[in-house]
Amino acid sequence: MATKDVTITVVGSGGDGVVTLGELIAQVAAHEGLNVIKTEAYGPQIRGGESSCTVRVASSRIYSQGAAVDVLVVFSWNDYKRFRGEISVAPGAVILGEASEEPPSAEDLGVIGGDDLTFLQVPFAELSKTATGAPGSKNVVALGILGGLLGLPTEKLQRALARKFGRKKAAVLEAVGRAFQSGLEFAESRRKTFESRRLDYEPGPSRLLLSGNEAAAIGALHAGCRFFAGYPITPSSEILHFLGEWMPRAGGAFLQTEDELAAIGACIGASFAGVKSMTATSGPGLSLMIEMIGLASMAEVPVVIIDVQRGGPSTGNPTKSEQSDLLQSLFGTHGDAPKAVLACSDVEDCFHATVEAFNIAEEFQIPVLVLSDQAVGQRKETITSADMRHEVRDRRKPTEEELEEYERYRDTPTGVSPMSVPGMKKGMYQTNGLEHGEDGRPNSLYLTHETMNAKRYRKMWPIRDRYHSFRCFGPTRAEVGILCWGSSAGPVQEAVAAANARGESVAAFVPQMLYPFPKRDFERFAESVDELLIVELSYTAQFYKYLRTFLDLPAGRTHVFKRSGGKDLTAAEVSDEIEKVRARTARVEVAG
């Protein structure tokens, strides 16, 4: 009996090659046309120390990282213990532990479903030593074992390995090949034990394996972004890396700035000069940018900011995900500062949301925030390149007529004023962070402030009407309706599908536009369900609080499931909560 969906986790220390191992399996599976989600987890030190890599491989579309691990590879039990409470092992799992280590107690494993486990001591280090003379190729031995166990094509695994070590000497390559072979042979010798974990699939066209951060960066280039400025911060730096490589190839400008203040400032300057601009950061960096996001609102300069959220406040949990930058994104700016906020739920979404953010920013001359998070930003997921298409709209140039007696901030019926750029002879103006009149000159009269606030906020209405994007899962009428956003959507979608398969009536509503919120669409959804369940990874339930600022959530039938980030949401958790709501035992009260 084989499987159509398997989750593998490898745990070790920095230097064990845990991440390389996961990457190779994921690449080969993607090349086979399988669906893959790959995540990595680290201790707080970001470099060095314990690391784990989880790869879920399935023959049909998957939406979240597996809730529990089917195959666990542990190079070091000490490192494993540092992930206590973060790795759940599925009943019947296969556990491969380094043979030179003391096997763990059942308690140490934190195992669910204990009796069904298959626990094997594997001499990873010894096999590596025999093959290469050193224990350092444990991960290559494990690649052979896992490749054999899953039934991935050997020649593809070998090619991937050769590409990875391609720059090494022939002798090294040969030794690595032997290590791989010894792993394969080990798997062959345990063929019966591993049979249930063998993947049952038909090879299909090769898929792309991308991280959410890469997809967002591609989205920016696709949208015509030709200026990027940013400051390194986990977990958003991959966007900086990607655009550092590709922006010059696209003929654009890339600048690694001295801090986040400079990054957003440079983007506003570049956009003022007529070039589509973006920066990317995480919570602490966003806090630094907030003042100048207000400048972009006030001076009406289009700019896109991607926030790959991590745990907060302060330095918080830099390598872990959380959905707690929501209120900062929506309300962080002082004054009344119009902006739009979008969310991404998966890797493909990071592409679409970024392009859409540019479309909105450029049309309405506002800052647009894209809320990603560590869970989607850093995970790698298979996508099809055909899905990476999105309409691109450019900034409208002022007409000749508009340039006669040009006023940059003309109070138009839509609130959008013609925006000239340097070089336009008749379009000269001075822009201002100070409140200004239609000509852009400082003006502190009450009436001007009121008029210009109204003009700037008038732009939000068409956004609300035209960009009310959201997703729904499940039946059109349901007993339980889940409301969530961002990376919670994947586990929620899988939990809804599982509930529906059990014959339970559960649906979900996931807004992609967070501000302006697709209010009417949501209200229709809320009316179509008996009980409403809000799911989010924020200790103080920021999403629930935000909704309450403009919605009357149905009294007596609204439930909130919230917890801190630090561990990705799983479909199993959501399923449990659905059962509680159905049994009317879910939490309603919210602390903080």
Partner 1 sequence: MSTTMGELPAFQPADYKSDLKPVWCAGCGDFGALASLHRAMAKLQLEPWNTVVISGIGCSSRLPGYVSTFGFNGVHGRALTLASGVKLARPELTVVAVGGDGDGIAIGGNHFLHAARRNLDVAYFMMDNEVYGLTKGQAAPTTPSGDKTKSTLWGNPEAAVDPCELAISFGATWVARGFSGDPKMLVDLMVAAIEHPGFAFLNVMSPCVTWRGDEQFKMLKAKLAFLPPTHDRTDRTAAFRYTRETDVLTTGVLYEVRQPSLVERLEEVRKKAHEVGGLATTADILEQLAPAI
One of 38, 56, 178, 226 touching partner 1 (CB under 8 A): 226
Q: Is 444 in the site for partner 1 (CB under 8 A)?
A: no
One of 4, 163, 396, 520 touching partner 1 (CB under 8 A): 163
The contact mask relative to partner 1 for 181-210 (x = CB under 8 A, - = no) is -------------------------xxxxx
Q: Is 156 in the site for partner 1 (CB under 8 A)?
A: yes
Q: Is 470 in the site for partner 1 (CB under 8 A)?
A: no
Quote the tokens at residue 497: 């599908």
One of 194, 272, 406, 485 touching partner 1 (CB under 8 A): 272
- Least distance (Å) between residue 345 CB and partner 1: 20
- Least distance (Å) between residue 425 CB and partner 1: 5
- Least distance (Å) between residue 262 CB and partner 1: 4
- Least distance (Å) between residue 481 CB and partner 1: 36
Q: Is 358 in the site for partner 1 (CB under 8 A)?
A: no
Q: Is 508 in the site for partner 1 (CB under 8 A)?
A: no
Cα end-to-end span (Å), the chain = 50
Q: Is 266 in the site for partner 1 (CB under 8 A)?
A: yes
The string over 6-27, giving b where at least 16 C-beta atoms fall within 10 Å of a residue's C-beta and e elsewhere, is: bbbbbbbbbebbbbbbbbbbbb
Residue 182 to residue 160: CA distance in whole angstroms: 17
- Least distance (Å) between residue 485 CB and partner 1: 26
> Which DSSP helix (H) or strand (E) runs through 468?
none
- Least distance (Å) between residue 380 CB and partner 1: 11
One of 287, 432, 443, 469 touching partner 1 (CB under 8 A): 432
- Least distance (Å) between residue 218 CB and partner 1: 6
Map residue 305 onto helix, strand or coil: strand
Q: Which stretch binds partner 1 (CB under 8 A): 54-62, 63-71, 384-392, 444-452?
A: 384-392
Query: Could you tell me if 311 and 323 are in contact, meaning their C-beta atoms sit under 8 angstroms apart?
Result: no
Q: What is the CA radius of gyration of the chain?
A: 26
- Least distance (Å) between residue 439 CB and partner 1: 10
Residue 301 to residue 265: CA distance in whole angstroms: 11
Between 229 and 508, CB nearer to partner 1: 229
Between 61 and 425, CB nearer to partner 1: 425
- CA-wise closest residue to 351 among 216, 229, 241, 483: 216
Across the strands, what pairs with 483?
A: 509, 534
Q: Is 227 in the site for partner 1 (CB under 8 A)?
A: yes
Q: Within a 10 A sphere around the Cβ of 110, how many other Cβ atoms?
A: 16
One of 18, 21, 25, 28 touching partner 1 (CB under 8 A): 28
576: Cβ–Cβ under 8 A, 6 or more apart, which residues? none
Quote the tokens at residue 344: 């991404």
Q: Is 350 in the site for partner 1 (CB under 8 A)?
A: no
Residue 306 to residue 281: CA distance in whole angstroms: 6
Between 350 and 578, CB nearer to partner 1: 350
Q: Is 127 in the site for partner 1 (CB under 8 A)?
A: no
> In Å, what is the CA distance from 248 to each residue of 221, 409, 446, 481?
11, 33, 46, 46
- Least distance (Å) between residue 200 CB and partner 1: 21
CA torsion 30→35→36→37, rounded to 10°?
Answer: 150
The 8-class DSSP code of residue 445 comes to -
Give the CB-side neighbour count of residue 373, counting CA atoms within 13 A.
28
The string over 546-576, giving b where at least 16 C-beta atoms fall within 10 Å of a residue's C-beta and e elsewhere, is: bbeeeeebeeebbbbbbebbbbbbbbbbbbe
> In Å, what is the CA distance from 20 to each residue of 32, 162, 164, 171?
18, 13, 9, 20
Between 77 and 165, CB nearer to partner 1: 165
- Least distance (Å) between residue 272 CB and partner 1: 6
Between 158 and 542, CB nearer to partner 1: 158
Q: Is 167 in the site for partner 1 (CB under 8 A)?
A: no
- Least distance (Å) between residue 48 CB and partner 1: 26
One of 168, 191, 396, 441 touching partner 1 (CB under 8 A): 441
One of 64, 128, 236, 277 touching partner 1 (CB under 8 A): 277
The contact mask relative to partner 1 for 388-427 (x = CB under 8 A, - = no) is xx--------------------------------xxxx-x
- CA-wise closest residue to 507 among 484, 530, 476: 476
One of 22, 135, 183, 265 touching partner 1 (CB under 8 A): 265
Between 294 and 311, CB nearer to partner 1: 294
Between 17 and 511, CB nearer to partner 1: 17
Backbone angles phi, psi at 522, to 5 degrees: -70, -40
Q: Is 31 in the site for partner 1 (CB under 8 A)?
A: yes
Q: Cis bond leading into 422, ω under 30°?
A: no
Residue 310 to residue 397: CA distance in whole angstroms: 38
One of 2, 173, 261, 590 touching partner 1 (CB under 8 A): 261
CA angle (222, 227, 231) in 5-degree steps: 110
Residues contacting partner 1: total by CB under 8 A = 70
Give the CB-side neighbour count of residue 17, counting CA atoms within 13 A.
19
Across the strands, what pairs with 120?
A: 96
Q: Within a 10 A sphere around the Cβ of 112, how many other Cβ atoms?
A: 14
One of 221, 416, 535, 547 touching partner 1 (CB under 8 A): 221
Residue 121 to residue 141: CA distance in whole angstroms: 14
Interface with partner 1 in residues 281-300 (CB under 8 A): 291-292, 295, 299
Quote the tokens at residue 501: 């398969």
One of 110, 151, 433, 475 touching partner 1 (CB under 8 A): 433
> Which DSSP helix (H) or strand (E) runs through 480?
strand 478-483
Please report, as ranges, the residues that interact with partner 1 according to CB under 8 A. Answer: 27-28, 30-31, 156, 159-160, 163-164, 206-210, 214, 218, 221-222, 226-227, 229, 245-246, 248-251, 253-255, 257-259, 261-275, 277, 291-292, 295, 299, 385, 388-389, 422-425, 427-434, 441-442
